Amino acid sequence: MINWSASLFACSTAFRRNASACQISPKVGTTNELQSVFDNNWSYPLINREKTVFSLLVSVLLAVVAHSVSLGQDSDDDDSTNAKTALTHQAVVGPVRATVKVAPEQPIIGDVITVTIEVVSEPSVEILMPEFGEALDHYRILDFAPRQEIRDDGKTLSIQTYRLQPPISGKQSIPPILIEFVDGRPGQKPSPDDYDAYELLTPRIDFTVQSVVPDSASSELKPPLGELQINDGKTTSRRWLRRIIYLAALLAVALWRWLRARTPKVEQRSPYELARERLDALVQKPLPTDTDEADQFYVELSDIVRRYLEDQFNLRAPELTTEEFLEAVSASPDLSREHQQLLREFLGQADLVKFAGVNPDRTTIEASIVAANRFIDESRVRVDVVEAKNG
């Protein structure tokens, strides 16, 4: 690489003598040349030394700028390299071409994997993209971004981008993803006989998640160390140390009991009361009127129901995806099938707004509020009945 700081240092000296002689050259910058320039500069009178100090400061500033530019170029090169290392597979059926990309190609456990599904279709062809999380339930979904646009050539570009977290290291795969479409072009058959749409299945993509444990690490345990030798010296000091620790422990217990006695007791509220208070406060706010407000509204509404279930039925609701959560709920004896179906419909509508960008109308929002109220009230009543029978 070019020694920019040495070149700029030499340039500053030339600038003091003749501004037109300042040219940065990759050949300038050896240690001997810099030492010679430095010695010559300080052999001039005081006024020349002041000019030299000023030019040195300018040189340092220019060197920092040049180094920042080079770092930016290196960063751009790294981004382009990562893009080239992505695993890419394509599938084509008639007027539709699907491309699935997985990046990075060789992830390490803890890395975020980006899966991009791109579908390009001819004009008048209706694309049915996969449902949210379809075929990807093995991974933890961190982010999901759908997008669709009409290109300049008239073709439709549909994109779904997932950011996933693999659960373990080792061999992993992105299963085949089903894409359906209806051919509405003139003279073409919209769909096969006895089917609603054509089907396109992407190829399976295999990759390996590297472990952070090096391959050279041994699984064998080292032999035990030798027997510890008892030190007979300083016995009195150790005895006093044990006494001090014992007294400190007693004082800590006494202090804890004293503080606990002085702390006022707070009345513990039931999960139903907490959920009812949060839901009533949310309903008092104006209903959302655009997509962003609807997204925030449904995030808070679904969080109220999930936290109620977590506290009432000891379920890890906030840590599970919707499908995992519904599967856990189905195994609970405290919820009837009617309540489970009501919960499934409610969370399904919430996911459409939060992840698929659906903008609900006022009727849909009010129906979701009614569903949340009904679920919390009726499930609470059922739990009370079950506890009364057990008692």
CB-CB contact of 202 with 100 (8 Å): yes
Distance from CA of residue 58 to its chain's centroid? 43
Catalogue the E-assigned strands of the chain. Answer: 87-93, 96-103, 113-121, 125-128, 140-150, 156-165, 170-174, 178-183, 198-201, 205-209
Prediction pTM value: 0.38
Pull the structure tokens for residue 128.
């049915």
pLDDT at 382: 56
Which domains are assigned to the chain? Answer: 4-83 (no CATH), 87-209 (2.60.40), 271-390 (1.20.120)
pLDDT at 130: 92
pLDDT at 23: 45
Pull the structure tokens for residue 99.
């491309």
Q: How far apart are CA 340 and CA 379, in angstroms?
A: 10
Q: How far is CA 102 from CA 52, 131, 138, 199, in A?
A: 55, 19, 15, 22
Q: How far apart are CA 76 and CA 73, in angstroms?
A: 5
- In this structure, what DSSP letter does residue 212 have? S
pLDDT at 331: 66
By DSSP bridging, strand 170-174 and strand 125-128 are: unpaired
Q: What is the pLDDT along the chain (391 residues), one digit of tens a residue?
A: 444 444 444 444 444 444 444 444 444 444 454 444 444 444 444 445 555 556 666 666 666 555 554 545 544 454 454 445 788 989 999 899 999 999 998 898 889 999 999 999 999 999 999 988 887 888 989 999 999 999 999 899 999 999 998 988 888 889 999 999 999 999 888 899 888 899 999 999 999 998 887 666 666 777 787 777 666 656 667 778 888 998 899 999 998 888 888 776 666 778 888 888 888 888 888 888 787 888 888 888 888 888 887 787 776 655 667 777 777 767 666 677 777 777 777 777 777 777 777 778 888 888 888 888 887 888 776 555 545 555 5
Q: How far apart are CA 259 and CA 77, in angstroms?
A: 60
Q: How far is CA 121 from CA 36, 126, 160, 203, 388, in A?
A: 69, 8, 15, 18, 60
Contacts of 12 (CB under 8 A, 6+ apart): 22, 52, 55, 56, 58, 59
- In single-letter form, the type of residue at position 235 comes to T
Nearest to 141 by CA among 105, 169, 167, 179: 167
pLDDT at 98: 94
Pull the structure tokens for residue 93.
């059926």
